[in-house]
Structure 1
């Protein structure tokens, strides 16, 4: 049986022809650089943490799964199927063992999928199943990760790394402000859920918004966080100094 390798992204002309352009990176182990070819990936949406109640003599049921218009989800499973082609059985066996050593013993860590290079998952490896096919001289591996339901952006909002820009879903915005007196600013969260924002502050700055009011200075800003809602977060800044909002988007992808 002959396999036809099909990568989903354009191959860099400078890349070696025997190195796959698609795969994943976990715990610094890059499947593309270790002889594995990605043949399939599945990342279904996570299941919801549903809380429902039925009332006697009433049709249907009441759904109490949401708080402040936010749905809550269980961890999700992401599955990759990889293929290794090797002539010798002992070579294939070595690749199987190394794959398990590199993935299974480790705790939660970043999972980078080359299909979504702008984001990463927070995940751990749940299982590695490998099938050796001596007739075709191949290994077929099925790897399942358990992951936090939302993907994180690689960099903080406002960093604007060009390689991360995805024009259909992106916003260019200022997140660091010089404060001298009072001013109104708007910080957007275009992610899929509310997120925590921390700060970097010099001088004395007061921030007031839907999250309440916080008075920040060089000594206390590291211990303070606020919640940014989805969409516009209109904030009044007052005082004298600088303030930078530090947060990453969380995306349902």
Structure 2
């Protein structure tokens, strides 16, 4: 596979650009620490919310393309800038990350060097990814054989019929807490990670229910059915 990126309508391979370098910055954690007088070292509260919190991250890509006509090089430069810079935060696909994953990013700078001596364009694109995770495009529990990733995916049930009370486990195999989308029939009370919310029939997003990285024990009380839709986020 030719190393490439896709962002909005821009496809580096279709544009004829050859990837020279890919330089992601080192992840920077938002540390929460406290120094206590008379105690050695510091107290680290960075995991107080059940996950590590990171600063936005950047990736710098450098491409090159040989174009022998001066006018054509100028035309290609204008086309490239217009395709890249018109988008805000969008999906960035990168052949270096697992298939069916993407960054949420925006192009924070583009530098195009038009070299008449060697008849080439050198393109440097800097993307800011916030948060610095890649997002799965396929929901957990889909278990489709053709798209199942044995390195990251977990075979699990995400839809349940509830009769009075049940306790189920949902595995978030990613590196960040996620909010599941819940579709409910009947009336069901969901208790998970010290939060309890009662839902009647409907579809719910942006609730108090979070799934932390790892195994989450979920208590379901009521009568009806409930399905959880969530997508893992990985450090890449």
1:133 deviates by: 2.5
Partner of 1:23: 4
* Structure 1 pair 178–62 and aligned structure 2 pair: CA distance change class (3 A): closer
Partner of 2:110: 128
Alpha-carbon distance in 1 for matches of 2:175, 2:119: 44
1:119 deviates by: 1.2
Alpha-carbon distance in 2 for matches of 1:51, 1:209: 25
Partner of 1:141: 123
1:77 deviates by: 0.2
Quick check: 216-225 or 22-31, which moved more?
Answer: 216-225
SS at match of 1:79: strand
- What are the Cα deviations for residues 117-155 of structure 1, in whole angstroms up to 9, with x where unaligned? 231111110111112222332111110000111111112
Following superposition of structure 1 onto structure 2, how do residues 61-210 of structure 1 map, counting pairs within 5 Å? 61-116=42-97, 117-148=99-130, 149-162=132-145, 164-210=147-193
SS at match of 1:224: coil
Aligned length: 234
- What are the Cα deviations for residues 149-205 of structure 1, in whole angstroms up to 9, with x where unaligned? 111111221233555432122211111112233222111011112221220112222
SS at match of 1:45: coil
Unmatched tracts of structure 2, length 5 or more: none
Alpha-carbon distance in 1 for matches of 2:19, 2:25: 17
**8 Å contact kept, 1:77–1:146:** yes
**8 Å contact kept, 1:43–1:77:** yes
**8 Å contact kept, 1:203–1:218:** yes
TM-align CA RMSD: 2.3
**8 Å contact kept, 1:198–1:225:** no
**8 Å contact kept, 1:199–1:224:** no
**8 Å contact kept, 1:199–1:225:** no
SS at match of 2:188: strand
* Structure 1 pair 64–229 and aligned structure 2 pair: CA distance change class (3 A): closer
1:45 deviates by: 3.3
Alpha-carbon distance in 2 for matches of 1:140, 1:161: 41
* Structure 1 pair 52–242 and aligned structure 2 pair: CA distance change class (3 A): closer
Alpha-carbon distance in 2 for matches of 1:63, 1:225: 25
